[in-house]
Amino acid sequence: MKYATVLLVAGSALSISAPAMAQSAVDGTFTGPRVEILGGYDSSSAGSSIDDDSSVDNDQSIEGVVYGGGLGYDFNAGGVVLGVEGEYTGSTADVEFQDGDFEGFGLGNVETGRDLYIGARVGLLAQPDLLVYAKGGYTNAKYNIRSTFGTETFDEDIDADGYRVGAGVEYAMNERSFVKLEYRYSNYSDAEIDYAGDAPDTANFDIDTDRHQVVAGVGFRF
């Protein structure tokens, strides 16, 4: 809830300042198809409905590096930039044991798998080469269960559905290249276990997993 409040306040501030910020874009600066490479900080943690504290040292989260790429398309509507986008990313975050304490966050012993995202964004031109934007959409993530029985290793994934919201800034180095920095918050509330082979997947079940990311990117427009 507190993250939604922060984003709501940020969105309100953007709306209030829109008349002052809106400027004419250099033709083609923030328009057309784009491709980008992404990397940054990734953290998955227990949501507000989960508490697995086994000691005061358990932070109920896993951290790592997020990496991947994205595609998008933007068009300028008189100082307001509208766009659609998609991403495919991975992460190095996984569950660890710290001094005998299981650093879990409600999903068991897992490592973070691939993450798919599709959504939209809306931005305002702070200046002709600087875009300030907010984004939101659908995300589907996998958390790979690490389990063994004797010498056998089982390959199952928790397939989680949720939403993502975020905000960021994008700087156009020229009409064809840009750099960006953004914060994103995702929440996963619906999941199933995908079994390998022909075994049927489980029925959907409820989870509450928060995900925070700070991501930098470099991209090119066509």
The model scores a pTM over 0.85: no
pLDDT of residue 2: 46
SS3 letters across the chain: CHHHHHHHHHHHHHHHHHHHHCCCCCCCCCCEEEEEEEEEEEEEEECCCCCCCCCCCCCCEEEEEEEEEEEEEEEECCCEEEEEEEEEEEECCECCEECCEECCCCCCCEEEEEEEEEEEEEEEEEECCEEEEEEEEEEEEEEEEEEEECCEEEEEEEEEEEEEEEEEEEEECCCCEEEEEEEEEEEEEEEEEEECCCCCCCCCEEEEEEEEEEEEEEEEEC
The reported pLDDT for the residue numbered 49 is 64
Per-10-residue mean pLDDT, the chain, length 222: 46 44 55 97 84 55 95 89 97 82 77 96 93 98 81 78 98 95 96 72 82 98 92
pLDDT attached to residue 25: 44
Domains assigned to the chain? 2-221 (2.40.160.20)
